[in-house]
Amino acid sequence: MKSLSKAAETFGAVVRLDTAAERLIIDSGRRVVGVVARQYGQTVTVRARKGVVLCAGGFIFNDSMIADYLPDCLENASKTGTDYDDGRAIRMAQAVGAAVQNMGSSEISTPVAMAIAAPSVLVDGTGQRYINEDAYGGRLGLASRQRRRNGVFLVFDEHIHTDYLAVRERLGVESISALAANRIMPRATPTWVCETISELEESAGIPAGSLETTIDLYNKFAAKGEDPLFHKEPRWLRPLRSPFAAIDLRDANYRMFTLGGLRVRPSGEVLDLDGFEIPGLYAAGRTSAGIPATNYVSGISLGDGTFFGRAAGTHAATSNTG
């Protein structure tokens, strides 16, 4: 951030601190020509000769927008983002006719560390696998959260648990900041430990025989390094052996942030409900519905915000304002 700020100032950008944009100003031709903002407790206006680029983050901390677009986020979720991810910029643009897109899309991180998920078996309340357990954490999170009301269980064995504890120890998890470390690699304390899968079924309320069938099939192919159902990488495949354990993920806390936002062109131009550009208005980052809104993986939000933010700035600076 420091390098970006320094570069912007070198090119003549003026930085205004403690300045929160509140409303857009439009002229009689519907062109966005400035903003009304609060600066050190005063209302100020800023004239935009070329355009306004909105890049004020998402809306995870706007309870009313969350209730409208992501009501599932109201329970068992840790909302994450900057304090000002309050959807203000999205609302400002909507007030001048902007359309929104993919507002129900969010990043949902897995509530268990990927290091223990990958060699384990994730099943739903009927004992069925639903994903390759070595998938990206956001995909595990999304798929698991969708099923959590009917049951989500991470099933592993003593061997996997021991390996996981060794990884934690090797990375010095106990010695670094407990909060940060435990977010990345939680303790993975089993909810149940059982000698047999049928005991586990009974404890978890999974229909008798269904998890047994799943584990039998998984083990049969894992022994050959194969996963014909979900194509997990062979390095994570090993048959599960007694004693077994499972973590109940029904009440797990999932970390979330929003990905939907204003509908934009690749140039950053904001579109209205009819699909026309709103003259002088641009958006980038999580104020817009960019690439992450359909397919989030780590890095893609910062990459998208930087790339398309630059494109928006360039387009605005070189546009013919008439």
Residues in contact with ligand FAD by CB under 6 A are: 20-21, 55-57, 80-82, 84-85, 88-89, 257, 285-287, 298-302, 305
Closest approach, Cβ 127 to ligand FAD, in A, equals 33
- Closer to ligand FAD at the Cβ: 180 or 223? 180
Contact 93, 283 (CB under 8 A): yes
Q: Can you name the residues that pair with 107 across neighbouring β-strands?
A: 257
User: H or E segment at 54?
Assistant: strand 52-54
Closest approach, Cβ 10 to ligand FAD, in A, equals 20
User: Tokens 């398309």 map to which residue?
Assistant: 308
Contact 231, 225 (CB under 8 A): no
Structure tokens at 181: 């470390």
* Type of residue numbered 213: T
No. of helices (H) and no. of strands (E), the chain: 10, 15
How large is the angle between the packed helices 210-222 and 197-204, nearest 10 degrees? 140
Contact 193, 244 (CB under 8 A): yes
- Closer to ligand FAD at the Cβ: 60 or 123? 60
- Closer to ligand FAD at the Cβ: 35 or 246? 35
- Closer to ligand FAD at the Cβ: 119 or 137? 137
Name the residue with the smallest CB distance to ligand FAD. 285
Closest approach, Cβ 151 to ligand FAD, in A, equals 27
CA distances from 310 to 20, 317, 321 (A): 21, 10, 19
Closest approach, Cβ 54 to ligand FAD, in A, equals 8
Closest approach, Cβ 255 to ligand FAD, in A, equals 7
- Closer to ligand FAD at the Cβ: 80 or 182? 80
Closest approach, Cβ 80 to ligand FAD, in A, equals 4
- Closer to ligand FAD at the Cβ: 153 or 257? 257
